[in-house]
Amino acid sequence: MPQLAIETSCDDTCAAVLDGGAVLSSIVSSQEAHSKFGGVVPEVASRHHLELISPVIEKSLSDAGVGLDDIDSVAVTAGPGLIGALLVGLSAAKAIAAPRHLPLIPADHLHGHVAANFLEPDAIEPPFLCLIASGGHTLIAGVTSHEGFEILGETLDDAAGEALDKGARLLGLGYPGGPALEKLAAEGDAERFEFPVAMARDPGLDFSFSGLKTALAYRCRDLGDSGTEEARADLAAGFQAAVVAQLVAKLSRAIDAGRWPTVALGGGVAANGPLRAGVTALCKERGLRMKLVEPALCTDNAAMIGSAARFVEPIRYPDYLGFDAFSTGDRR
């Protein structure tokens, strides 16, 4: 029987229908409203989730060719994320599950990004190394089971996506900045401006991205308005190259530190072409298997939540009625 999965942890309203590891439908409604603010405004996100959640769920069901009475469980992101946004998805999940006495399965958002790699076709099995780079998190996960992962290294300050979003904003691009920056960078010369690759000499597996936006801000100040305008594509290319270089360097170090047969990616930044190319080249050089999930499953979606939920103990009706979402921390 199919499962309905719901994800509303940030600014994308997402629902999917799965049959085991097969995705029958996956709907993502990205909220345009945040673009003019240059970042996600939590209250605006919650209000939009409220408006979008029902139509998004209905579309996921109709695209899968099923009705609510065909669903045998409801998976939902419990955290981490924006608490007001999470509560919209959780409330919708309870409202669908409770009257039908269906089990509810709470999933961790980061586990979801890892679990996108367990979806058909071409599902991979643990053990593997997984770089998760998104707007809120950047970490290297050692995945030895379907149920969870060990954090081998993580960012000490900004996430990679956050850095790209802030860099894009400095260059006058809208939110989300990552895809816009990638597009602009494709026309630029990454060699013209050098940006610092932080933590390069640090022996550990942690990341740091907060110095990059300062470096870009100083560059823009030195170039002045017209100089920045003329150099925008080159600045974008150099900035993106520095983010990618750090991610690839730390992944390379993690590969050396263990015996991982396979490397996978997850999170919105994993949709980035130069990062995918860099990690592919790295895996080729080391003779490792590379798993690249399609870009639509890298950015936030509910199919990955349904995938993670397959490895989580369901909560039976009515025990989940008082179940709460969590904004930060780890409840895996």
> Which residues contribute to the site for ligand KG4 (CB under 6 A)?
10, 134-136, 161, 164-165, 176-179, 182, 267-269, 271-272, 299-300
In the complex, what is the shortest distance from the CB of residue 64 to ligand KG4, in angstroms, rounded to a whole number?
A: 22
Distance from C-alpha of 264 to C-alpha of 260, rounded to nearest angstrom: 11
Cis status of the peptide bond prior to 261, with omega within 30 of 0? no
In the complex, what is the shortest distance from the CB of residue 102 to ligand KG4, in angstroms, rounded to a whole number?
A: 27
Provide CB contacts within 8 A for 205, sequence distance 6+. 140, 152, 153, 250, 253, 254, 257
Residue 179 binds: one of Zn ion, ligand KG4, none (C-beta under 5 to 8 A by kind): ligand KG4
**Three-state DSSP state, 104:** strand
* C-beta of 143 vs 173, nearer to ligand KG4: 173
In the complex, what is the shortest distance from the CB of residue 163 to ligand KG4, in angstroms, rounded to a whole number?
A: 8
CB neighbourhood size of 113 (10 A): 34
Distance from C-alpha of 90 to C-alpha of 93, rounded to nearest angstrom: 5
Residue 228 binds: one of Zn ion, ligand KG4, none (C-beta under 5 to 8 A by kind): none
In the complex, what is the shortest distance from the CB of residue 110 to Zn ion, in angstroms, rounded to a whole number?
A: 8
Residue 314 binds: one of ligand KG4, Zn ion, none (C-beta under 5 to 8 A by kind): none
* C-beta of 103 vs 291, nearer to ligand KG4: 291
In the complex, what is the shortest distance from the CB of residue 109 to ligand KG4, in angstroms, rounded to a whole number?
A: 6
In the complex, what is the shortest distance from the CB of residue 317 to ligand KG4, in angstroms, rounded to a whole number?
A: 29
Residues that bind Zn ion (CB under 5 A): 134, 300
* C-beta of 89 vs 136, nearer to ligand KG4: 136
Provide CB contacts within 8 A for 166, sequence distance 6+. 158, 177, 213
Which residue sits closest to Zn ion, CB atoms considered? 134
Size of the chain, expressed as the number of residues it contains: 332
Distance from C-alpha of 9 to C-alpha of 110, rounded to nearest angstrom: 11
Residue 177 binds: one of Zn ion, ligand KG4, none (C-beta under 5 to 8 A by kind): ligand KG4
Q: How far is CA 174 from the centre of its chain?
A: 19
Cis status of the peptide bond prior to 176, with omega within 30 of 0? yes
* C-beta of 73 vs 307, nearer to ligand KG4: 307
Distance from C-alpha of 169 to C-alpha of 180, rounded to nearest angstrom: 10
Residue 299 binds: one of Zn ion, ligand KG4, none (C-beta under 5 to 8 A by kind): ligand KG4
In the complex, what is the shortest distance from the CB of residue 285 to Zn ion, in angstroms, rounded to a whole number?
A: 28
- Can you point out the beta strands (E) in the chain? 3-7, 12-19, 22-30, 73-79, 104-108, 128-133, 138-143, 150-154, 262-266, 289-291
* C-beta of 97 vs 249, nearer to ligand KG4: 249
* C-beta of 117 vs 299, nearer to ligand KG4: 299
* C-beta of 71 vs 235, nearer to ligand KG4: 235
Distance from C-alpha of 326 to C-alpha of 184, rounded to nearest angstrom: 36
